[in-house]
Chains A and B, each alone.
Chain A
Amino acid sequence: MVHALQRAGRRLRPGGMLISLRPHRTWRPAVAIIAPGYRLPVARLVNPAFDRNLRSADSALDRVVDEGWFIPAGARSSRFRIFLQRPSQMRTYLELISPPRPRFPRGGRARLHELWASAPRGARIEVTEYLVINVLRRR
């Protein structure tokens, strides 16, 4: 990963920007059942394999700054929401994500179905995902 960033640095003009857009390392996707005036948290999805990749990415970005390739130019977190009409769409949604895919923690999927069974009419499933952008300037 460090090598990829160094290689990218070699192709950037001085003062050029390296931008990394990726999932947030610690804010895991949150699943909730929602309806007007109603929000019931279900679970946060887990992805241990991908977490390792994200830790490596953070370390690699720190390292190329420490090595003097880049100067930090900014970082920001944001979030976005995906809405599902019913629990069966959760599988489709997860399959849209490139491996390694997130999954429910133990008991999480059962909790979703259990809570969905008693949700008000018109309820939806909301998945809130968090992302982070890091911007580095080439020296």
Chain B
Amino acid sequence: MSDDRLLSAYPREGLELRLIERFTSLRRKHVLEIGCGDGRLTLQYAPRASSVLAIDPDRASIDEAAWQQADRGIRNVAFRVGSIEQLPEQGAAFDIVLFSWSL
């Protein structure tokens, strides 16, 4: 494998979660994630959360996220193509809304 494939432009796994959990626990929370991309961060915290709705406007990224989700056997995440503007104003209330590198 070329070592170029090991490159990432994001923090190593766990750093963002530690930052978030300095302020609030994700355990058993209903989370809405805006701009989830390929689910890199989503799939790190999903095992702690009760449920996650993760949206991103890029279909290819959502397809990759869904593939990664299936590969890891994580069942409490719904990945959807879309943006915050397309989300209905009414609906189940979330405990946490996370803008992950997307605001």
Contacts and interface: CB of A to CB of B under 8 A. Distances in A.
Q: Do A and B associate with each other? A: yes
Interface of A: 1, 3-5, 7-13, 16-23, 57, 60-61, 73-74, 76, 78, 80, 82, 84-85, 89, 92-93, 96-98, 129, 131, 133, 135
B95 A17 contact: yes
A133 B21 CA distance: 11
Contacts of B15: 78, 80
29 contacts: A4-B103, A7-B84, A7-B85, A8-B34, A11-B91, A11-B97, A12-B94, A12-B97, A13-B94, A16-B97, A19-B20, A19-B23, A19-B24, A19-B97, A19-B98, A21-B101, A22-B101, A22-B102, A60-B103, A73-B23, A76-B23, A78-B19, A80-B10, A82-B8, A84-B7, A92-B4, A92-B7, A131-B11, A131-B16
Q: How large is the interface on B (under 10, 10 to 19, 20 to 34, 35 or more residues)?
A: 20 to 34
Nearest to B23: A135
Given A19-B96, A80-B11, A7 B23 contact: no
Contacts of B94: 11-13, 16
B99 A21 contact: yes
B9 A96 contact: yes
Nearest to B3: A85
B4 A13 contact: no
A18 B93 CA distance: 12
A29 to B, nearest CB: 10
A15 to B, nearest CB: 9
Q: Which of B4, B24, B34, B99 has the most chain A CB within a 10 Å cutoff?
A: B99
B32 interface: yes
A13 B91 CA distance: 11
B89 interface: yes
B96 A11 contact: no
B93 A133 contact: no
A137 B8 CA distance: 31
Contact of B32 (A8, A23, A96, A97): A8
